[in-house]
Amino acid sequence: MATGNHTTTPGFILLGYFNLMNLQGLLFVVFLVSYMVILLGNGVIVLVTVLDSALHTPMYFFLRNLSFVEIYYTSVTLPKMVANCLAEDGSISFTDCAAQMYFLLLLSGTECFLLAAMAYDRYVAICNPLHYTLIVNRDVCARMVAGSWLVNIPVHFGKTYLVFSLPFHGSCEINHFFCDIPPLLELSCMDTYRNKIAVFMAVLLFVTIPFFLIVISYIKITSTILKMPSAEGIHKAFSTCSSHLTVVTLFYGSGMIVYLIPKSRDSEDTDKLLSLFYTIVTPMFNPFIYSLRNKEMKAALRKLVGKK
């Protein structure tokens, strides 16, 4: 229903890459295979870390929760992206769009805090190993995971309400694969400067603060590692952190470029491409990064396969 040049539209159109209609079949296969790999890979990590008692440690507790988040994180966007490649209309209702954006923000914010918790776990394990079991105990781990969820729930609900309370243009074509804040703000008929400032501050709080905590943790970790007398000890310490650092680089690198760098019309396609890194590439490679470079995970997988 339209009033003047404003609209309370019943839905939106997700454009994705509809300007490349000849690639829709290829995109369908890529998105579907990626989703299956993400479900299988992260599902295996959850299963193995639950069944193998040797992996009932804080590090694998955080990894299990991270994989759990990755499964639901991609389930918010990828099934719709796959369906849109078949339907070729990209339509999504107003309510579904709001729900998609809320859960996308909630799960990505939770992942930011989980990655920071994993960095803290590595910091205590390497820099204060004698008190590790006292500092990072089961209760502390449970509180950190619960806090990662509880802190994000109300804030992202407010961000979603802030965006979807705006009036939108009649066409309501979202130049993206999914409902995200930057392309939705571009559709508003009103001045969104205050909204953009509010979103920027929220991103600053829920993305950059965990990121800087990770950076500080690794500065202290690196300082401690370089003081180790044994080359073997240095290699072992760095190898325990390399998987986490790889995931952090992929996830935060693409996310910060999309949300913190000023936008232009020419950057829209680049932002869409970068969004695939933190919505598809990182969740897909996460299981391989943590399993193929981790002796304990490989041993647990062999043990599980052997039992079957």
Over the stretch 115-153, which tens digit does the pLDDT of each residue have?
999 999 999 988 888 899 899 999 999 999 999 999 999
Identify the band that residue 100 occupies on the pLDDT scale cut at 50, 70 and 90. Answer: very high
Kindly state the greatest CA–CA separation across the chain: 74
Which of the given ranges, 17-21, 179-183, 193-197, 292-296, has the highest pLDDT on average?
179-183
Per-residue DSSP letter, 57: S
At 173 the three-state DSSP class reads strand
- Of residues 279 and 153, the one with the higher pLDDT is 153
Please report the pLDDT score of residue 1 as a whole number.
Answer: 37
Q: Which has the closest alpha carbon to 277: 255, 304, 305?
A: 255
- With a pLDDT cut of 70, the percent of the chain lying above it is 86
Q: Look at the domain 2-307 and name its fold.
A: Rhopdopsin 7-helix transmembrane proteins (1.20.1070)
One DSSP character per residue, 6-20 reads EE--SEEEE-TTTT-
Identify the band that residue 258 occupies on the pLDDT scale cut at 50, 70 and 90. Answer: low
Strand order across the 173-174 sheet: 91-93, 11-14, 173-174
Mean pLDDT, the chain, rounded, equals: 82
Please report the pLDDT score of residue 71 as a whole number.
Answer: 94
Q: Is the pLDDT confidence value at 57 over 70? A: yes
- Which tokens belong to 222? 């690196």
Which of the given ranges, 174-178, 186-190, 202-206, has the highest pLDDT on average?
174-178
Q: Is the pLDDT confidence value at 159 over 80? A: yes
Identify the band that residue 171 occupies on the pLDDT scale cut at 50, 70 and 90. Answer: low
pTM of structure = 0.86
- Of residues 88 and 124, the one with the higher pLDDT is 124
Say if CB 212 and CB 158 are below 8 A apart.
no
**Which residues, 6 or more positions from 172, have their beta carbon under 8 angstroms from its beta carbon?**
7, 9, 11, 12, 13, 187
Q: Is the pLDDT confidence value at 283 over 60? A: yes
Say if CB 20 and CB 277 are below 8 A apart.
no
